Structure 1
Amino acid sequence: MDGIALQDIARTRAEELPAAEISQPFGPEYDVAKVVGRMFLLLTEVRGVPVVVLKAEPRDSEALRQNHPDITPGYHMNKRHWITLEPGGGLDAEFVRELVTDSYLLVVDGLPRAKRPVDPDAFLASGSGPG
């Protein structure tokens, strides 16, 4: 999958998630998806190549990087808590959608309960998850 398709899939999934908003707080070359003011996705370019940057649990982040050559440490982010999805042949659309959802739910889970737009556990159980 090329970088534009990668970003389009990630952006579309982010836009589907409850209370998610996309803005450009860092300038026009960066699209940022936030939920209740907290970032869970960054769309940008690295050396002219479109990439997707997502939040991930440190354990998951390490495992993802080890098992997928198209997943690297988070570009311009904390390398333990963020990953970068790069274009190539190793990531399919459903997996990208799942990673975006996981990033969103990780941020939602860190919000005070009263501010959460969804219950992370119920969201996945309801079938509103990646698919």
Structure 2
Amino acid sequence: MDRRAVRDYLLSRPEAEEDFPFGPDVAVFKIKGKMFATVGRLDGVDCTNLKCDPDEAQALRDIFTGVIPGYHMNKKHWNTVLLDGSVPDYEIERLMDRSYGLIVRGLRKVEREALELAYGADTIYR
């Protein structure tokens, strides 16, 4: 996946918004004001930071050379995924969905239930 495809996919998630609080080089994707992804560059390579379950985060790092501890993030809960072709597109999409779902689960109950009602739980937690 390239940077543009990642951006488009992240923005396709219900009520996802793009922001640039760290300057024009790092796009931040949020749901209800909570960050679920960033897209930027690391050592000249496009990449995305995604929230992840801590146990799964380490397993992914062991499996894929293009998954490393979250750059400038809590390394227990975030991974940086290099968009260099080393991680299959379907896996990147799964990780983006998982990151979004983890943040939605952490929203206030009223916000979470409104999203589930409007879009369906299957869409939110795919």
Same fold (TM over 0.5): yes
What letter is aligned with 1:40?
F
Aligned to 1:118: 116
TM-superposed deviation, 1:91: 1.5
Pairing partner for 1:90 from 71, 86, 89: 86
TM-superposed deviation, 1:89: 3.5
Offset from partner CA, 1:85-113 (integer Å, 9 cap, x none): 11334312221111101000000001111
Unaligned runs of 5+ in 1: none
TM-superposed deviation, 1:127: 9.1
4+ residue stretches of structure 1 with deviation over 4 A?
none
Is 1:68 the counterpart of 2:90? The answer is no
The 5-angstrom pairing of residues 99-114 of structure 1 reads 99-114=95-110
Aligned to 1:24: 20
* SS of structure 1 residue aligned to 2:76: coil
Unaligned runs of 5+ in 2: none
TM-score (ref. length: structure 2): 0.87
Change beyond 3 A, Cα 1:127–1:40 = closer
TM-score (ref. length: structure 1): 0.84
How many residue pairs get aligned? The number is 122
**Percent same amino acid at aligned positions?**
34
Offset from partner CA, 1:11-35 (integer Å, 9 cap, x none): 1111111111011111101100000
Offset from partner CA, 1:59-106 (integer Å, 9 cap, x none): 110111111111000010000000011133431222111110100000
Aligned to 2:11: 15
Offset from partner CA, 1:34-65 (integer Å, 9 cap, x none): 00000000011112221111000101101111
